Amino acid sequence: MTEPLLQVKEITKLYAANKGCANVSFDLYPGEVLGIVGESGSGKSTLLSCLSARLAPDSGTIQYRNRAGEMLDLYGLSESRQRQLQRTEWGIVHQHARDGLRMGVSGGANIGERLMATGERHYGNLRATAEQWMSDVELDTDRIDDKPTTYSGGMQQRLQIARNLVTHPRLVFMDEPTGGLDVSVQARLLDLLRRLVTELNLAVVIVTHDLAVARLLAQRLIVMRRGEVVETGLTDQVLDDPQHAYTQLLVSSVLTP
């Protein structure tokens, strides 16, 4: 196995009434998809915010191996270096696409703007790449000049994915990427995500309360309850033969009508 892309050690971020996450540790390898599951309030979104440099932890360390092979202490970096990572080597897919898009500019501009962070300035190249990515995420390229406000929820989520992946990130953070979408839209979006993750060999950390989403996308699972990791392992192993009582409850609540 290659060296870890992300090394997380004893990450803790607590709010009042013990909300948040505590003492979370794991390694993530290139091309691996890690699912973080648990009920609402389990701490999974807090953890994701810490991992993606959007929320500083109270304690613990997060190290990331960049494209140059350097192991960076994420919270030892300046905010500008953190933002640079977020714009180039990382992608962040929000549950609500509006949080990850600029709604006042066109769909094509949303993709091209992100590409400009890598140094590309040629308008023709920017537009051609935006068109290609819209096609890749199954968006009508005739809509390239339309603003995302005119897109459906599923289309906005596809545009957000294209915006994130245009820089060919090495690591993508996803927070409930299919939440709030119709079931049929969810299914198509999941198929798209699975294809892109495989084709681009992406490392992904995905937070979801939906175990079906976790089974479809993640190779390995972390189960959280009340801010702590209660079980971890290969996805099929955890879901088919859960060891912790809470995981058993989670799985049975999905399986029983």
> Nearest-CA neighbor of 207 among 240, 173, 237?
173
Domain enclosing residue 153, as ranges: 102-168
Say yes or no to pLDDT of 256 above 70. Answer: no
- Is the residue at 242 inside a domain? no
Whole-angstrom Cα distance, residue 92 to residue 50? 12
pTM of the predicted structure, to 2 decimals: 0.93
- Is the residue at 217 inside a domain? no
- Is the residue at 200 inside a domain? no
- Is the residue at 94 inside a domain? no
- Is the residue at 174 inside a domain? no
Q: What is the pLDDT of residues 14-46, one digit of tens each?
A: 987 778 999 999 999 999 999 999 988 899 999
pLDDT computed for residue 16 by the predictor: 75
Phi, psi of 89 (to 5 degrees): -85, -15
- Is the residue at 111 inside a domain? yes
Rg for the chain (alpha carbons), in Å? 18
- Is the residue at 25 inside a domain? no
> Nearest-CA neighbor of 117 among 169, 177, 71?
169
Q: What is the pLDDT of residues 138-184, one digit of tens each?
A: 999 999 999 999 999 999 999 999 999 999 999 999 999 988 788 88
Helix (H) or strand (E) holding 220: strand 220-225
Say yes or no to pLDDT of 257 above 90. Answer: no
Half-sphere exposure of 169 (CA within 13 A, CB side): 29
SS3 208: strand
Amino acid at the residue 247: T
- Is the residue at 175 inside a domain? no
Total number of domains in the chain? 1
SS3 20: strand
State how beta strands 71-73 and 228-234 pair: unpaired
Q: What is the pLDDT of residues 70-118, one digit of tens each?
A: 999 999 999 999 999 999 999 999 989 999 999 999 999 999 999 998 8
